[in-house]
A = this chain, B = another copy of it.
């Protein structure tokens, strides 16, 4: 899970430090262990390579982890800090979290818990290793290697995946990895026009094939290709085996293509296939995508947000994401646009789940209470705040009205 990550460990206890180092290295991380405050300050200020996260004990022989963090903040932006301490106090936890620490664990803790928290924190854009495109899940990594292989070869490519899974992004990534990367990248969407439009879009005087030269031409929704367009595409692909552009096509699923495409076209396209699984089949990637997109959008904000609240992330991980990555990006963008606090709350990511939709139905007691509140307000307004008179209007005893006002919080 922590493959290739750089982790700094600041810990003065030999036993603790050794056991943590062991375990983290077992997970594939590269651990740098600082045993004193002084060493840590130096090592973190001018790191040999950037750390993805700092695991920091608070009580050190020659200083405190808190101090370390604050000193580093004075000189720049330190990596995310995860504090661990045996003498935990709530005040300290609050102080640290509010000054930007990523997390705070009380010793003794479960190693599994630590790893889970590390996973949430670790910066999604790793400086080393292959830059992730789809995520850290097994499936996503398999995609990466497939893309590399496809980039090394040079035939037509078929990219399959539900709406919003990032088919075009995959195409662009392959293009970037290949030796055509300097050449143009052109994408056309066949579902947007009719037969004549498609033909013009692709083969016209100013069409995609003219512009793409020896770059990559991506044809989206190939399943919508009209018959005569399919015919010309077969010819084009045949030509492109020897020279010209590389053709990539995308669509949602294979059965559809098998049914709707000319057999020979389908055969040509079916050589190099990249199938992107929907987000719901690789839930490990959801948190990662959220974090990566959040960081990106947050950087472009006037006043930056602190993060995504735990309940909100929980909901996101459980959500079905029928619109996959596109939906995720959209939801996050909207949430960040309407966010009021400094964290994104569940209702901001999933407003429709909250507001009446289907879900909640207010109980009789709630409805009654609301009605009472409202009527009492009105009565008080009419009497200008006079309780006795309002009680007369409402035809209850003054005592009862007083009691209700207490209950409903209307006596302030």
Task: Check if A77 sits within 8 Å of B348, measured CB to CB.
Answer: yes
Instruction: Tell yes or no: A128 within 8 A of B by CB.
Output: yes
| Chain A: number of interface residues, binned into ranges | 35 or more
A99:B309 contact, CB within 8 angstroms: yes
Is A61 engaged at the interface, CB distance under 8 Å to the other chain?
Answer: no
Contact of A347 among B73, B346, B373, B375 (CB under 8 A): B73
**Could you say which of B142, B318, B373 contacts A380, with CB atoms under 8 Å apart?**
B318
Chain A contact residues: helix, strand, loop or mixed: helix
Choose one: B94, B348, B367, B395; the contact of A364 (CB below 8 Å).
B395
Cross-chain contact A371 with B368 (CB below 8 angstroms): yes
Q: How far is the CB of A110 from chain B (nearest CB, A)?
A: 12
Please, how many angstroms separate the alpha-carbon atoms of A337 and B132 in the complex? 11
16 A-B interface contacts by CB (under 8 A): A34-B409, A46-B373, A73-B345, A74-B354, A76-B355, A90-B92, A93-B104, A97-B98, A98-B307, A99-B311, A102-B341, A142-B354, A318-B378, A364-B396, A368-B368, A368-B371
Residues of chain A whose beta carbon lies under 8 Å from any beta carbon of chain B: 21, 30-34, 39, 42-43, 46, 48, 70, 73-78, 80, 85, 88-95, 97-100, 102-106, 124-125, 128, 131, 138-139, 141-142, 144-145, 148, 280, 303, 307, 309-312, 314-315, 317-320, 334, 337-338, 340-348, 351-357, 360-382, 384, 393-396, 404, 407-410, 412
